[in-house]
Each structure stands twice: as structure tokens, then as C-alpha cells.
Structure 1
Amino acid sequence: MSEFSKALSVSTSGLQAQSSRLRHLSENISNADTPGYRRKTIPFQTAFAAGSGVSNVEVGRVSLDDRPLERVFDPSHPMADDSGHYDGSNVDLLIELADAREAQRSYEANLKMFEQARQMSSGLMQLLRR
């Protein structure tokens, strides 16, 4: 495997990981007001490809945040108990937006790395043709 292929492989795995992270963050944001919804978190891990000697990024198993659900007082809500409370979600929009910004920046960095490797490979091919 050439060095260009290795660079493309690493940046592609980063793009896929951040894309998956953004998908779960958007699910969390869209369900912030859903009663009983638990925030989803997604870990990253290193995957070493034995044949190529490249360490790629892989997405781990999605897990649910075990923080307690917010107790919301609304006696008119259909899910309210005798005291007028129901379990809301444990999604904090400020944290989700900050994580989304971080994932977006990381995605953009991986995309630039991919583009640079592609341009370098193309430039090398042009030099070899001369």
C-alpha cells in the first residue's frame, strides 16, 4: 500500500467516524424535548490494519447516557404522574451544539487532509508523465 493510499485511508476513516458522530448528535438535538429520551454517545477507537500498518479510526458501540432524566412539572401532560411530574430527556443542548461544532471542525480537517493527499498524488503522476 502506497503512502498516498495510507493517507487516504486514514482520512476516510476519520470522515466516516465524524459523520457517524454528527448523525448521533443530530438525533440527540432533535429529541431534546422527547419525554424519556436518553442522550446517545459514541466512542472512537483505533483499528490497526495488520497488512498495511495503518491505524484507522473506528466507531464503537453506541451507548446511552446514564445521567438521570430531568423531572418536568406539567400536570396537564399525558405522561404526568399523580404529582404532576414526568421524566424529560437528559440532553443538554449546549453540550450537543459544542460537540457538533467540534465534530464539524474535525470532519473539515479530515476532508482537507484527503484533498491534500489526492492533490499530491495527482501532482506526482503529472511529474512521472514528463
Structure 2
Amino acid sequence: MTDVVRSCVISPEPLSVDAVLAAITDPRCGGEVLFLGRVRDHDHAKEVSGLGYSAHPGALAAMQDVCRVVAARHDVLAVAAVHRVGDLRVGDLAVIIGVASAHRAAAFEAARDLIDTLKSTVPIWKNQRFADGTATWVGLP
């Protein structure tokens, strides 16, 4: 990781907002943006009972690349991305993105870019389970 990429983790353990915030805190930065992605209780008008995230063995390297590329595209001094894998319940944190910059505009833009690029390119897949007993995979290639 570069000194701008402060944390990049895929973990089966519960995620920590405090750890991500600590990773991006920098005295040169006046703007810090956190994005928290949680398991919601519905999708496409169906009740979600839980889900499971699975990561390809190359997912961490891909996520590190995304962090570096996004950091290079924006005027930021710190980025962090952590994603959970395994079985999650409604309300659990699935992903945390953190970005810090001297000014808020760059931090907001980079955070949006980071989560959108991560979700569209990093091979982490979601098996969404519904209350009616059905399930569907999301994010498969």
C-alpha cells in the first residue's frame, strides 16, 4: 500500500468505523468523508433476511489497486476501504469507505468514486437471502 492508502482489508470480522476513521485522520486534512454500507431489510420489494459475501482470492489485490487508482484521480491525502465477508444480518456493516483531503469537495468526490469503483470492479459477490426462502447472487461476473 502507498502512504495515501492507509487501510485496505477484507475480513470476516465485524467492521470498525473507529478504525477506518483513525486510519484516515491526518493533520493536513480538513475534510473527512466516511461511507457506511449496511445490510438493508429489503431489495426489489422483497424482505431480506440476511446475506453472505464471498471474495475471490484476488479480491484484496483488486481492492488495493482500486484504492491507489482512485487516490491518484483525486486531490486526497488518505483513503481506506474495508469490506466484510461471510454471513451478515440485517443492519450489519458490509463496507466502510474513508477518504480525507485538505478540503471537503475532493473528499466527497473521491469517496463516491471509491465506493462506485469498488462495487463495480472488485470480485466480491453477495448471496442475498429473502424471507420467502429464495436467494439470489448479486455481483457475479
Q: Same fold (TM over 0.5)?
A: no
The structure richer in helix per residue is: 1
The TM tier, using the shorter chain, reads under 0.3
The structure richer in strand per residue is: 2
Normalising by structure 1, we get a TM-score of 0.26
Normalising by structure 2, we get a TM-score of 0.24
Structure (1 or 2) with the larger CA radius of gyration: 1
